[in-house]
Structure 1
Amino acid sequence: MRFRPDRTLGEELAIKAERYHSKPYIQFEGQSFSYELINDQAARIAGFMESKGFGEDKVIGILMPNVPTYLSIFFATQRVGATVVPINTSLKDDGLAYIINNAGITQIYTVPSLLAELDRVRDRLDQPLQTVVAKEFKDETLPEASSDSMLIPLTTALNHKPQAAPRKNINPKSVSMLMYTSGTTGYPKGVVYRYGTSQAKMTRILAHMLIAEDDIYYTCLPLFHANALIVTNLSVLYAGATLALSRKFSASKFWQEIRDSRATAFNTLGTMIAILMKQPEHPLDGTHHVRRVVSAACPAAIWEAFEKRFNVNLIESFGAVDGGGIVTMNVGNAPVGSIGKPLGKVKWRLVDEHGNDVPAGQPGELIHFAGGNATREVDYYNNEKASAEKTRGGWVHSGDLMWRDEKNFLYFAGRNSDSMRCGGENVSALEVESAVNRFSSVLESAAFGVPSELAEEDVMVVVQPREGDTVNPEALADFLKDKLPKHAQPRYIRIVNALPKTETHRVIKHLLKSEGITSDAWKAPERSR
């Protein structure tokens, strides 16, 4: 592996373009985009950015779906030393305006289908916003440039004189990227990545260990998310491999896309695995070229069944965009269901709400010691309060509940905010959801606490049935009687057509919680609790 910590991503792409020339960097809908082409586009867009005064200390947003030019724009920002902000394409109204204002974005790249959302919030923006419009589809027509140059088609940038070479004198303390959290419990927080001490560099080095030059790494996750942009894309870049890019996750098309792209590796989230297992079996389920699957939060109950049905080997990993660089991995050296142990020389603990260590088998929050190490600390942009709450006394608090076995292998137990207090006991939402999802007609579920008539909380579950199926709440409750302890049994079950989700397939629970106990929710009789 060849790695220089002082090399920017813009420089790295330029070097790879010299080395690999016409080798495909990206495969997308039957087309190949070479290392040379993506680097040339990045150089031209960088030249355009500089001509408009965008460079170090300027903030550029990307509000785009998965298309190859997304990465050309991304690398252009890193060539000029600007701060790039990948923005969730599902954000609307105040949520979108918040990120643009919080980050200080003054130039944004988008597609025609998202222009209306930007126009809707312009009067709430703190600064003028120059908008550059790229094609989402090959035959799409772009708007013409406005007279005030605040709306510009990307073709103008792609026809610009290329930047001669990526900047080399970028201040290592300058912010290279702001990666915003999902914001499932409130407004997202921007995690700071710097040119000199970027946590992204550690992440891509780790991912590079799993990818070779001849790999084709598939992703259907959105490029505004760290899993696709950092873990997958940067692994491909550093290994000189090929990225097979899909527009979005489709359970019915997933394995066909894997076969068509001849992918040898892909990353998956736990919810994706559960959804794929609910799809009808197909004779070609195990026919593909995949050598490696890196999973995050695979449900233990379906881990081995997924491997057997789809003829793959799972590597379970844990990491977070605001995790301070801590990463765990189970490459088969830990029990099924475990996320392994933290890699490297990391001092970690599992603690209760009072900061006391918990014994083996008992859930506690994962914390690790940063001790002034800049690569370990978490800095939220323009949010000193959240930064101070994240790192306390030198310890980074993950907000994730884990339990450990006697050999110190870790097991994910859910988010701290997902824990409920029922019948004098702590109840993990993940535990409840895992049991509910085993019911044959359930596709997905979301469990959370609602006010109880007897104090504390009752468990409420919102369920999305499999396509073409129905869920009988009484039958589901009966199914759960021997799957969950009495205090974790759902008091309320609600059936919905679709769960509200982020673009990375995380259920937006605060929306469901705000609706509370709805009139259509089934209530368990007292005797079944």
Structure 2
Amino acid sequence: MYQTPQTIPGMLKRNVVDFPDREAFVSVSHRTGAWVRYTWLDLDRLSDRLAAGLAGLGVRRKDKVAFLHGNSAECYLAYLAIHKLGAMFVPINARLVAREVEFILGHAEADYVILGSDFLSLADEIRGRLPVKSWVCMEKEGRALPEWTVSFAALLETSGPPPDVEIGPHDEADLLYTTGTTGMPKGVILTQVNKIACGRMLGASAGLSRRQYGWDRCQNAFPFFTSTGVSSVLMNWLYYGFTQILEPVFEVEATLETIARERTTFYGGAPSMFIFLLDHPRFKEYDTSSLRTVSSGGSAMPEEVTRRMMEAWPGLRIYNFYGLTEGGVGGTYLDASDALRKLGSIGTPWVPDQEARIVDDAGRDAAPGEVGEIAIRGPNIMKGYYKNPEATADTLRNGWLHTGDMGYYDEEGYFFYTDRMKDMIVRGGFNIYPVEVESVLFEHPSVLQVAVIAKPHPKLGEDVLALVVPAKGRQVEPRELMDFCSDKLADFKRPREIVFVESLPLNPMGKMDKKALRAQYMNRDS
């Protein structure tokens, strides 16, 4: 036995040595639109070529390389190549609009950008205001590129090895942007060792070994630009060496078809995804009997859905995970054996090195059943927020990551999530902070006051509801405000319903009482 590598390139090399000819990655090529299959050796050779090409372009250790694209075969190649050079990977949500992308690129001080051809017009709009050295475009076959871009396909044809770069376990690996409660995104710095810990602990929590897990065929459609996609999914794959099947997007029938074709054994998705799968009228026409295990996150798995899944796939093992970007998506997990016994629980800390506790307002440990803030500690916890020491100091205290989520634990040590301190909305697995939506609506001259809260959604879990007090003497329709948001907010953040009210409730401190609003509108039909 040899020591587990503590860097991302080291993990790749270990898989090349152990499983050179094993099918490692299956996805759709952005260039051709066709499904492609790579072994571990293929991935190593192709990412070497790309790394050499990027190095020739000027990419160096500690440079920041942003990535703007959806799911495709090129995603993993780019990630591996960037890390072979010791550069920092900065994924950007492909659903953001131009001003949101511009803010992140500027704040991150991105040196280079790799983007899909679908984002060329967006990039052209903002590139003159950013000090980006080169824009690398993943083109589609047969389409010409503008002169200000560099061809991704051409870089993949680079001959010769990439430079030999010394990378340490505590080097900064990824810079992931998560929406801040002030409305501005915050950059989460994860080191190489943070990332490795994410991959190791996720599988270990499920009692899996590298050899056992290595034979699985794991499928998911989590967007690569999310922390789930680039931390838990990708790092679990790198650590355990199984076959990863990455869907371009989640489309119910296409997902069922892929499970049947690929004989998928493990599927990862948000609870809403499983509801869509089970509700599809042709669900039983697809042979999904190969499925043995599923993992879920983003919100607790509803009891009805858990039971329906177990009926659809007898013997199915269901794991539910709770975490956040700042923890590399690490936190707690509910073991498959407890899926029905501890319904509603987010489980116990990841093993072997994760700790969790509940603290009161004074920072003291809460007693069983007492609601407080969830705090976690472990090797997966972020280094800090980029260029934001105040937020780092507020979130990381005495080695503990204070999540901003409320919960409690029972006498057996199982944790339960109850509420958010920060009012976040989770829509189909995507995090939305109301203050960001509110700040956009406030820009409209007909809006005097606004409060954005979650409203229940039967499949997505939650959706966005905006309560608006119109400015005196102004007339405005909901559709006008929705259209106003369309070029200022990513589609998943936009309000799906706008309700006009005469006033908004305040608490005794004179602040907006969102707790009262949530209670009033929780069971309201659209």
| TM bucket, shorter chain | 0.7 to 0.9
Instruction: Give the match for residue 132 of structure 1.
Output: 136
Aligned with 1:337 (options 323, 332, 344):
344
* Correspondence 1:318 to 2:322: yes
Q: How does 1:186-197 map to 2 (within 5 A)?
A: 186-195=183-192
Deviation, 1:255, is 2.1
Deviations 1:406-442 (A, max 9, x none): 22211222422239xxxxxxxxx89xx9xxx9xxxxx
Change (3 A) 1:282 1:273: closer
Q: Is the 8 A contact 2:300 2:320 kept in 1?
A: yes
Kindly indicate whether residue 69 of structure 2 is the aligned counterpart of residue 74 of structure 1. no
Identity of aligned residues (%): 21
Give, in whole Å, the separation in 2 of the partners of 1:17 and 1:325: 26
Q: 1:274 touches 1:299 (CA, 8 Å); kept in 2?
A: no
Choose 66-75 or 394-403, whichever is displaced more.
Answer: 394-403
Which amino acid in the other structure matches residue 219 of structure 1? N
* 1:307 counterpart = 2:315: no
Q: Higher mean Cα deviation, 269-278 or 238-247?
A: 269-278
Deviation at 1:275, TM superposition (A): 3.6
In structure 1, distance between residues paired with 2:119 and 2:218: 28
Relative to 1, partners in 2 of residues 1:156 and 1:34: Cα closer, same or farther, differing over 3 Å? same
Query: Quick one: which of 166, 172, 185 aligns to 1:175?
Result: 172
Aligned: 1:103 with 2:104: no
How far apart, in 1, do the equivalents of 2:62 and 2:178 lie? Answer: 22
In the TM superposition, residue 380 of structure 1 has moved relative to its aligned partner by 0.7
Distance 1:391 1:65, change over 3 A: same
Q: TM-score, normalised by structure 1?
A: 0.74
Instruction: Give the drift of 1:353.
Output: 4.3
* Cα deviation code 1:234-293 (max 9, x no counterpart): 322232221111101123432222112211112112332344344336324773211111
Q: Structure 1, residues 337-382: CA drift from partner, whole Å, max 9, x if none?
A: 2222113465543234454554444432201457xxx754540111
2:333/2:347 contact within 8 Å kept: yes
SS at match of 1:287: coil
Secondary structure of 2:336's counterpart equals: coil
Do the aligned partners of 1:271 and 1:298 also contact (CA within 8 Å) in 2?
no
Which residue type is aligned with residue 28 of structure 1? S
Unmatched runs of 5 consecutive residues or more in structure 1: 420-428, 438-443, 451-456, 468-493
Cα distance in 1 between the residues matched to 2:520 and 2:93: 42
Aligned counterpart, 2:195: 200
Measured after TM superposition, the shift of residue 130 of structure 1 is: 0.8
TM-superposed CA distance for 1:333, in Å, is: 4.5
Structure 2, unaligned stretches of length 5 or more? 29-34, 439-449, 461-477, 503-517
Higher mean C-alpha deviation, range 74-83 or range 340-349:
340-349
Shift of 1:17: 2.9
Distance of 2:69 and 2:43 partners within structure 1? 17
Whole-Å Cα distance in 2 between the matches of residues 227 and 85 of structure 1? 14
Q: CA separation in 2, counterparts of 1:349 and 1:238?
A: 27
CA distance in 2, matches of 1:81, 1:285: 44
Q: Which residue of 2 aligns with 1:157?
A: 155
Instruction: Pick from 403, 407, 413 the counterpart of residue 418 of structure 2.
Output: 413
| Residue matched to 1:386 | 391
Are residues 244 and 96 of structure 1, via their aligned partners in 2, closer, same or farther at CA, if it must alter by over 3 Å? same
RMSD (Å) for aligned C-alpha atoms = 4.1
Aligned mate of 2:300, from 288, 294, 298: 298
Among 324, 339, 358, the alignment partner of 1:350 is 358
In structure 2, relative to structure 1, the CA distance for the partners of 1:157 and 1:304 (3 Å cut) is: same
Q: What is the rounded CA distance, in whole Å, between the counterparts of 1:447 and 1:111 in structure 2?
A: 27
Q: Which amino acid aligns with 1:337?
A: G
Q: Which moved more, 1:107-116 or 1:49-58?
A: 49-58
Gap change, CA 1:506 and 1:19, over 3 Å in 2: farther
Question: Which amino acid is the alignment partner of residue 199 of structure 2?
Answer: R
Residues 354 and 277 of structure 1, relative CA distance in 2, 3 Å threshold: farther
Measure, in 2, the Cα distance between the counterparts of 1:346 and 1:208: 13
1:127-526, aligned counterparts within 5 Å?
A: 127-135=131-139, 139-143=141-145, 146=147, 150-164=148-162, 166-167=164-165, 169-182=166-179, 186-195=183-192, 198-209=193-204, 210=208, 212-280=213-281, 282-284=283-285, 287-296=288-297, 297-302=299-304, 303-311=306-314, 312-323=316-327, 326-334=330-338, 335-343=342-350, 344=352, 348-355=356-363, 357-368=365-376, 376=381, 378-418=383-423, 462=455, 508=493, 511-512=494-495, 517=500
1:52 positional shift: 2.2
CA contact (8 A) 2:191 2:382 kept: no
2:58 to 42, 45, 53: 53
CA distance in 2, matches of 1:238, 1:248: 24
Residues 1:306 and 1:3: Cα distance change in structure 2 (over 3 Å): farther
The answer as to whether partners of 2:321 and 2:334 remain within 8 angstroms in 1 is yes
Aligned mates of 1:143, 1:415 — CA distance in 2: 45
Q: 1:301-359 CA distances to partner (integer Å, 9 max, x unpaired)?
A: 32222322344321122222213775322223542322221134655432344545544
Contact 1:142 1:153 in 2 (8 A): no
Of structures 1 and 2, the one scoring higher in RCO (CA 8 A, sep 6+) is 2
Distance 2:247 2:127 in 1: 31
Determine helix, strand or coil for the equivalent of 1:418. Answer: coil
Is 1:341–1:410's contact at 8 Å kept on the other side of the alignment?
yes
User: SS at 1:322's partner residue?
Assistant: helix
SS at match of 2:99: helix
Deviations 1:168-194 (A, max 9, x none): x23554321112225587222211122
Measured in 2, the distance between the counterparts of 1:182 and 1:249 equals 23
Cα gap change, 1:359 to 1:514, in 2 (>3 Å): farther
How far does the alpha carbon of each residue in 1:115-160 deviate from its partner, in whole angstroms, 9 at most, with x for none? 11111112332x134111113x5x452416x3xxx41111221111
For 2:153 and 2:283, locate their aligned partners in 1 and report how far apart those are by CA, in whole Å: 43
The verdict on how the C-alpha distance between 1:151 and 1:347 changes in structure 2, with shifts beyond 3 A counting, is closer
8 Å CA contact 1:399–1:417 kept in 2: the answer is yes
Query: Do the aligned partners of residues 142 and 281 (structure 1) sit closer, same or farther apart at CA in structure 2, a change above 3 Å counting?
Result: same
CA distance in 2, matches of 1:512, 1:328: 31
User: Cα–Cα, structure 1 residues 318 and 162, in superposed 2: closer, same or farther, change >3 Å?
Assistant: farther
What is the aligned partner in structure 1 of residue 98 from structure 2? Answer: 93
Pick closer, same or farther for the CA change 1:27–1:61 going to 2, 3 Å. Answer: same
Identify if the C-alpha distance between structure 1 residues 215 and 384 changes in structure 2 by more than 3 Å, giving closer, same or farther.
same
**What SS does the corresponding residue of 1:16 show, helix, strand or coil?**
helix
- Distance, in Å, in 2 between the alignment partners of 1:308 and 1:340 is 22
| Structure 1 residue 42: Cα displacement | 0.8
SS of equivalent residue, structure 1 residue 299: coil
Separation (CA, whole Å) in 1 of partners of 2:310 and 2:142? 41
What letter matches 1:4 in structure 2? T
- What's the counterpart of residue 10 of structure 1? 9
SS in 2 for 1:289: coil
Query: Against the structure 1 CA distance between its residues 255 and 393, is the aligned structure 2 distance closer, same or farther, given a 3 Å change threshold?
Result: same
Counterpart for residue 112 of structure 1: 117
Is the 1:400–1:412 Cα contact (8 Å) retained in structure 2? Answer: yes
1:514 Cα deviation (Å)? Answer: 11
1:480 is matched with none
- Secondary structure of the equivalent of 2:10? helix
